[in-house]
Structure 1
Amino acid sequence: MSLNRSILIVLPLLAAAPALAQTTVTGQPATNGASSATSGGQNAVTRPNTDHAHDGKTVAISTGANAKLERGANSFTEGEVRRRLERAGYHEVKDLKKDGDGIWHANAMLDGKPASVGLDFKGNVAVQ
């Protein structure tokens, strides 16, 4: 093999090598030895609370004066909201409506008593 032919084979390989070694940085690196999970550097997307959406267990219910539903773009459908409320222990869910803040509101029965209940974009359920 001649020297010219060897150069023609090696040059394309060398030209591609820098492209293979490039990386893309997203966000700011964690400081003071904090991981990205604790620094908040990788928490760019807020998602609904779907960690255990299909496990068949009832979900935690926030009640009382300190219960607060968060405003935000809510992508839950009416059927999904109804199922989440039923898993939280509510029955006979009626008048289900989403307000301008992205919070679903309904009237329902809980332990045989009427309740006004809400569900936010994260899937949190609270008595109103």
Structure 2
Amino acid sequence: MKRPSFIVCISLFAAATAFAAAPASAQNPPVQSGPNNSAGQNNSDAPVAGRNSFTEGQAKSKIEDAGYSNVTSLKKDDNGVWRGKASKGGASTNVSLDFQGNVNAAK
């Protein structure tokens, strides 16, 4: 007689656990690429305005990591975008780094 009660209790516990786990997974959707995800790729073909926490040294390193050299004249503008000059492929160009880490050459 005690065995069916035990099985019923285990079944109810399993059902309650499965039900409780479902909302937790719904609250944590998978990571998606998009303009708000700065997972190391250029998410924009133009600098995105926003509060930039990169220091000048970090901005220079990020621009160099994107393949540029001779990074000079870095200044943060009113939109939080680092702007300066750099060379790539032998040509000098104006570059920018936004708060998401996007490095762009001036067009």
Shorter-chain TM-score category? Answer: 0.5 to 0.7
Structure 2 residue matching 1:80: 3-state secondary structure: helix
Tell me if the contact between 1:61 and 1:88 (Cα under 8 Å) persists in the aligned partners.
no
What is the Cα-based RMSD across aligned positions, in Å? Answer: 2.9
TM-superposed deviation, 1:68? 1.4
TM-score (norm 2): 0.62
- Among residues 40, 45, 48, which one is paired with 1:70 in the alignment? 48
Task: Name the residue aligned to 1:37.
Answer: 29
TM-superposed deviation, 1:67? 1.4
2:27 and 2:53 map into 1 onto residues whose CA distance is 30
1:115 and 1:61 map into 2 onto residues whose CA distance is 18
Map 1:1-128 onto structure 2 (within 5 A). 36-37=28-29, 49=38, 51=39, 67-128=45-106
TM-score (norm 1): 0.52
Moved over 4 A (4+): none
Structure 1 residue identity aligned to 2:29: A
Runs of 5+ unmatched residues, structure 1? 1-28, 41-45, 53-59
1:74 and 1:88 map into 2 onto residues whose CA distance is 18
TM-superposed deviation, 1:72? 0.3
Q: Percent identity?
A: 37
Runs of 5+ unmatched residues, structure 2? 1-22
Aligned residues: 80
TM-superposed deviation, 1:36? 3.6
1:120 and 1:37 map into 2 onto residues whose CA distance is 26
